[in-house]
Amino acid sequence: MPDHSREPKEIKRDKVASGEALKPGYNWSRQIPAHGHSAVDFEERVNFRRLHDYRLARARQALAGSQLGSVLCFDNNNIRYLTSTVIGEWSRDKMCRFALLTGNGEPWLWDFGSAAVHHRLYSPWLPRDHCLAGMVGLRGIAGASISAPGPLNPTANTYYNVSPLDDMSPEAAESFLREYNDWTLQILNIHEAIPGHYTQLMHANKSPSLVPAVFANGSMIEGWAVYGEKMMLDAGYGGGEPEMWLMWMKWNLRSVLNTILDYEIQTMNLSREDAIRMMTREAFQEDTEATEKWRRASLTQVQLTSYFNGYTEITR
């Protein structure tokens, strides 16, 4: 556990939109000290703190030259540029984290609760009180998810995020728990953890090339997790219990319906009423699951199609 007593009380850096932080040039009069990106204690290679300050100074310069007083970012690339934080490729097309830059102030970051704790511990270039848990109103983006470390920091912690039930009515919570019953939760853990996302993303970080690891294929990530569910049941997990297979069939039907749902919302103006009717009557989903899925499908795009698309590509 890091010793927070040794952290500086105040983060000091060039807050004006000019100065040393804005100079991108490397001292080309000397040789590059070493090839590679690995940091060492005996020479300076990649100066990541200088990179952080340069990016933030450029953002402040652009903001000062605009007619805006602040900028609110939802795109993962822009969030990373402002805050030098990232939680994994899976969140690229989900508007569930955001960053705010106001004038010459330090960036504010709202993220998953566990990710916010991670940033407070391991991102000391951000003020600790600026790393906050995301708004409750954004719950429903995903009932459960994995926040895995990226290829540039492969040994960092992996977080298993689960949406709480504390803001649900007793009826909605009961509906949610009927959807995620004892058998479905086992399939969910196969999908999110082992041999699903946790296993796949851990091995992806071992790629000899950073390119496929950094620019991961979202369909293959979700497709592998869906494939892993049936692979485990085919291998004997669950002892062939009919309840387990029935829940897997319902779960797999969800992957198909996710694609239809996303397509019809984005291109055919599918209404909320028709979407929930389709989920509850044709895919046998509980009311709470259907309501939360509508919220997710309304705030994101394309990602819901990746489950069926990736699974189909793997199994064809």
157 or 243, higher pLDDT: 243
Residues above pLDDT 70, as percent of the chain? 84
Mean pLDDT, range 131-145, rounded to an integer = 69
Mean pLDDT, range 128-143, rounded to an integer = 72
Q: How far apart are the first and last CA of the chain?
A: 46
Query: Where residue 228 falls among pLDDT bands split at 50, 70, 90?
Result: very high
Q: Tens digits of per-residue pLDDT, 165-197?
A: 888 899 999 999 999 999 999 999 999 999 999
In this predicted structure, the answer to whether residue 9 has a pLDDT above a threshold of 50 is no
How would you classify the pairing of strands 159-162 and 144-147?
Answer: antiparallel
Widest Cα–Cα separation across the chain: 71
β-sheet bridge partners, residue 70 = 102
Q: What residue ranges do the domains of the chain occupy?
A: 4-145, 169-315
Neighbours of 245 (CB within 10 A): 14
pLDDT of residue 237: 97
How would you classify the pairing of strands 98-102 and 108-111?
Answer: antiparallel
* Arithmetic mean of pLDDT over the chain: 85
Residues above pLDDT 90, as percent of the chain? 54
Q: Tens digits of per-residue pLDDT, 42-101?
A: 877 778 888 899 999 999 999 999 989 999 998 888 999 999 998 876 666 566 789 999
CA 147 to CA 157: how far, in whole Å? 9
